[in-house]
Copies of this chain bind each other. A is one copy, B any other.
Amino acid sequence: MNLKTLAENLGLSQTTVSRALNGYPEVSEATRQRVQDAAVRFNYRPNSRAKGLATGRSMVVAQIVPGSSEHEMVNPIFGDFVGGATEALARFGYDMMITRVLEDDQDKIYRELHARGAVDGVILQGPSVEDARIPLLNDIGMPYIVHGRSTGMTAPYSWVDVNNRRSFRRATQFLTDLGHRRIGLINGLEYMDFAHRRRQGYCEALEAVGVAEDPALLCSADMTEGYGYRETRRMLALDNPPTAILSASMLSAIGIRRAIQDCGLVMGRDVSVITHDDDLSYLRNGEDIPIFTATRSSVRAAGAILAEQLISLIAEPDHAPIQHMLEAELVVGASTGPAPRRT
């Protein structure tokens, strides 16, 4: 059923039917009712592509998933983020398209996506420090919003981000307040902006209590369970092991907990742990009381906010850049306690 046959069935012109359905005022209420009823009866839906052609909008937002090779790690937050974003997008009649792109032809794909008119806007995921995609998108002139920020960017751009520096500063300070001085940081990849900022916050808090950072207590890699385990084992084997560890993700934290137990220690007593918690639906930090003390910020909620902001950027192309800072909450769980007295 297309507009033409629907109009014929009603004995009206396509114009009138189109207007009736799209809520234009140039059509009487009686006619509008009649048209709407018929549309429902015939299960009529305007063809997306035709509508898009005519209006110049695709009502689709893209999320580009980078992946340099077959074995690239998928970001665990992907599912929840998309869940939050699609829900918000659906409310405004938008769909989300996922495009996978190899590192090397980022440029090409973004340009093509725009030239093809396939999408109205783009969500940029996982920005690195000085991310090259930002100037690229500025150049292309397609609405976009970044999930996170990119240190070192001079040009303005729209973003939604958690205050990673502050949250890790607070977390570290929480530990120093408890008397900890040897604090490990099991961080994400530090060319990623979020990890870069978390490290800054950590360093600032250490500096505030006059502790110099120790390279042996720092590491940076993909945030897996095994990584958390391995690095914790390494740190606990040091002559001067940490009494507390900061973790960049729940998964690493689970590995950290395992390592602590395997060393015959008790988490929260011998070694305190604070982790960042994205509040993933399939990886909850405990049920009633949190297992880990954590800096918590729902990535799902972030997805919804990004989607809404992107839509307003699309609606108003020369809107000033949107900059939306989210604060992580510091929730206290069972994994932290006062620094053990030096024996």
Measuring CB to CB, which residues of chain A are less than 8 angstroms from any residue of chain B?
A: 1, 43-50, 52-53, 58, 60, 65, 67, 71-76, 78-80, 82-83, 86-87, 90, 95-100, 111-112, 115-118, 222-226, 251, 254, 257-258, 261, 280-284, 286-287
Which of B48, B78, B284 is within 8 Å of A224, CB to CB?
Answer: B284
| Max chain B Cβ within 10 angstroms of own Cβ: one of A49, A97, A116 | A49
The residue on B at minimum CB distance from A43 is: B115
CB-CB under 8 A from A48, the residues of chain B are 58, 116-118
List of B residues within 8 angstroms of A115 by Cβ: 1, 43-45
Contact partner of A96 (CB less than 8 A), chosen from B78, B98, B116, B226, is: B98
B47 near A282: Cβ-Cβ < 8 Å = no
A78 closest partner in B (C-beta):
B79
What residues on B are CB-neighbors of A1 within 8 Å? 115
Report yes or no: A226 in contact with B95, Cβ–Cβ below 8 A. Answer: no
Q: Taking CB as reference atom, which chain B residue is nearest A1?
A: B115
**Residue numbers in B under 8 Å from A79 (CB-CB):** 74-76, 78-79
Give which listed residue, B67, B75, B87, contacts A282 with CB less than 8 A: B75
**19 extra A-B contacts, CB within 8 A, seeds A50-B53, A82-B98, A83-B100:** A1-B115, A45-B115, A48-B117, A49-B49, A49-B50, A67-B83, A67-B87, A72-B281, A74-B80, A74-B281, A78-B78, A78-B82, A79-B79, A90-B100, A95-B99, A223-B282, A251-B282, A251-B283, A258-B258
Indicate if the CB atoms of A100 and B118 lie closer than 8 Å.
no
Query: Are B283 and A225 closer than 8 Å at their CB atoms?
Result: yes
Complex Cα distance, B283 from A224, in Å, reads 7
Set B67, B71, B98, B112: member contacting A98, Cβ < 8 A: B98
Q: Are B116 and A46 in contact (CB under 8 A)?
A: yes
Closest to A77 in B: B79
B residues in contact with A87, CB < 8 Å = 67, 100
CA distance A75 to B80 in the complex (A): 9
Q: Which of A86, A98, A112, A284 has the most CB of B within 10 A?
A: A98
Contact between chains at B80 and A111 (CB < 8 Å): no
Q: Do B83 and A65 have beta carbons less than 8 Å apart?
A: yes
Residues of B within 8 A of A82 (CB): 65, 74, 78, 98
24 contacts between A and B (CB under 8 A): A45-B116, A67-B83, A71-B281, A72-B83, A73-B282, A74-B80, A74-B82, A74-B281, A74-B282, A75-B282, A76-B79, A78-B82, A79-B79, A86-B98, A86-B99, A87-B100, A90-B100, A95-B118, A96-B99, A97-B97, A97-B98, A224-B283, A226-B284, A226-B287
Cβ-defined contact, B67 with A58, below 8 A? no
Q: How far is the CA of A105 from the CA of B89 in the complex (A)?
A: 17
Most chain-B Cβ atoms within 10 A of its Cβ — which of A71, A74, A115, A286? A74
How distant is the Cα of A287 from the Cα of B111 in the complex, in angstroms? 39
In whole angstroms, what is the CA distance A312 to B94 when docked? 28
Picked from B52, B71, B73, the residue with its CB within 8 Å of the CB of A49 is B52
